[in-house]
């Protein structure tokens, strides 16, 4: 093979990889769009009953809490499309063939993207973690009720993309994988229980 033929062959490989990445970027962008749509759907379905159930835990009335949550839902996961998160998440969950060996939680690109995400989105419990000098979580601060409700809606939306395995069933398995202030955990569990009972009433199990 001549040098010219080698260069043409390499260019073809590069073009194929670039095309594969473009396809995976489209897959991931579609996932983000679908997830954000599902969060909005969950809010339409459960928002009113959750807001009414937590007014005693909120320093304000129904209209204010509902408006705050409506704004949260409209801006849910906006940071996922930022350069500081997009590539790390895309490579982790929508890798091309050449990236599969690196598509792990401990990959530095994903770790940095995940850290940026939870430090900029307070509906994740990790936002409230207390860290020691070695960067290990040793406790958690209290979550506000609007962040807790958004977290519940986020879990519902994720379950809709995961074979419709309900958020409250997933919580039973994942309960001890993350830290929460005890009262915040009780409120989150209350959210999931309200959603479960509502689903039972609608026969949507």
How many structural domains is the chain composed of? 1
Say if 113 falls within a structural domain.
Answer: no
Across the range 183-190, mean pLDDT stands at 97
pLDDT-derived band at 9 (thresholds 50, 70, 90) equals: low
For the ranges 75-79, 94-98, 163-167, the lowest mean pLDDT is seen at 163-167
Residue range 171-182, pLDDT digits in tens: 988 888 899 999
**Is residue 71 assigned to a domain?**
yes
pLDDT digit string, tens, across residues 106-158: 999 999 999 999 999 999 999 999 999 988 899 999 999 999 999 999 999 99
- From residue 51, alpha-carbon distances to 1, 10, 48, 160, 194 in Å are 69, 58, 5, 21, 11
Q: What are the φ and ψ backbone dihedral angles of 129, each rounded to 5 degrees?
A: -65, 150
Domain span including residue 34: 3-77+121-201
pLDDT surpasses 80 at 202: no
Q: What is the pTM of this model?
A: 0.87
In a domain, 93, yes or no: no
Taking CA atoms, 6 is separated from 14, 40, 98, in Å, by 12, 51, 20
Question: How far apart (Å, rounded) are the C-alpha atoms in residues 151 and 43?
Answer: 11
In this predicted structure, the answer to whether residue 162 has a pLDDT above a threshold of 80 is no
Q: What is the Rg, in whole angstroms, of the alpha carbon atoms belonging to the chain? A: 21
Q: Is pLDDT at 32 greater than 70 in this prediction?
A: yes
Q: Is residue 69 part of a domain?
A: yes
pLDDT above 90 for 25: no
In a domain, 103, yes or no: no
Nearest-angstrom CA–CA distance, 127 and 119? 5
In a domain? residue 95: no
Q: What pLDDT is recorded for position 155? A: 95
């Amino acid at each position: 093979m001549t040098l010219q033929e080698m260069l043409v062959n390499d260019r073809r490989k590069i073009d194929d990889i670039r095309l594969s990445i473009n396809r995976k970027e489209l897959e991931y962008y579609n996932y983000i769009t679908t997830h954000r749509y599902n969060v909005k759907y969950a809010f339409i379905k459960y928002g009113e009953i959750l807001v009414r159930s937590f007014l005693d835990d909120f320093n304000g009335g129904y209209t204010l809490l509902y408006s705050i949550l409506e704004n949260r839902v409209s801006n849910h996961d906006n940071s996922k499309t930022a350069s500081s998160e997009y590539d790390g998440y895309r490579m982790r969950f929508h890798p091309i063939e050449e990236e599969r060996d690196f598509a792990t939680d401990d990959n530095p690109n994903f770790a940095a993207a995940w850290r940026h995400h939870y430090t900029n989105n307070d509906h994740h419990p990790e936002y409230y973690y207390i860290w020691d000098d070695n960067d290990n979580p040793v406790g958690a601060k209290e979550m506000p009720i609007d962040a807790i409700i958004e977290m519940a809606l986020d879990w519902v939306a994720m379950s809709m993309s995961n074979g419709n395995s309900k958020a409250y069933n997933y919580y039973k398995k994942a309960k001890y994988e993350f830290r929460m202030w005890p009262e915040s955990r009780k409120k989150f569990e209350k959210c999931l229980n309200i959603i479960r009972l509502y689903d039972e009433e609608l026969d949507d199990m």
